[in-house]
């Protein structure tokens, strides 16, 4: 039996979806599918030193984390969003110190999803066809 992922809390996903596993699976799939573009946008925006846009992107991602069980990413993004609200924190080094663990956690979530959950939506569809 493979080790359960730490980056995704499946029970929290289900609870956040009003105990509906099918909806939880769909929300998680959509969230994970969007993560590569989120990471790319963060990187591009940091290179452009657009701190207001970083704050907006962090706010959007923080909101999305409220609908799926990714507690570590939610905590990291909340901290980053708070930092970007403070103009005194608008420095590349500060932003990078927040973004590095966020990007690592996003990549871990993608990996964990592919390893443990990628067949979830197909299993749900198969069960609904019976």
Looking at residue 127, its pLDDT comes to: 43
Looking at residue 120, its pLDDT comes to: 63
Q: For 14-36, what is the mean pLDDT?
A: 96
The answer on pLDDT for 56 being more than 90 is yes
Residue 65 and residue 7: Cα distance in Å, rounded? 12
CA 78, 116, 44: angle at the middle one, nearest 5?
40
Given a contact cutoff of 8 angstroms between Cβ atoms, the answer to whether 65 and 73 are in contact is yes
CA neighbor of 8 nearest in space, from 28, 23, 38: 28
The answer on pLDDT for 94 being more than 90 is yes
What letter does residue 2 receive in the DSSP assignment? Answer: P
């Amino acid at each position: 039996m493979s080790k359960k992922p730490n980056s995704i809390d499946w029970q929290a996903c289900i609870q956040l979806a009003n105990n509906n596993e099918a909806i939880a699976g769909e929300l998680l799939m959509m969230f994970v599918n969007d993560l590569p573009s989120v990471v790319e946008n963060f990187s591009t925006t940091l290179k452009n030193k657009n701190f207001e846009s970083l704050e907006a992107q962090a706010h959007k991602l923080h909101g999305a984390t409220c609908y799926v069980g990714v507690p570590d990413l939610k905590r990291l993004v909340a901290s980053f969003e708070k930092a970007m609200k403070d103009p005194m924190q608008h420095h590349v080094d500060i932003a990078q110190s927040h973004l590095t663990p966020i990007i690592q956690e996003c990549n871990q979530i993608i990996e964990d999803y592919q390893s443990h959950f990628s067949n979830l939506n197909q299993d749900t569809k198969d069960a609904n066809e019976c």
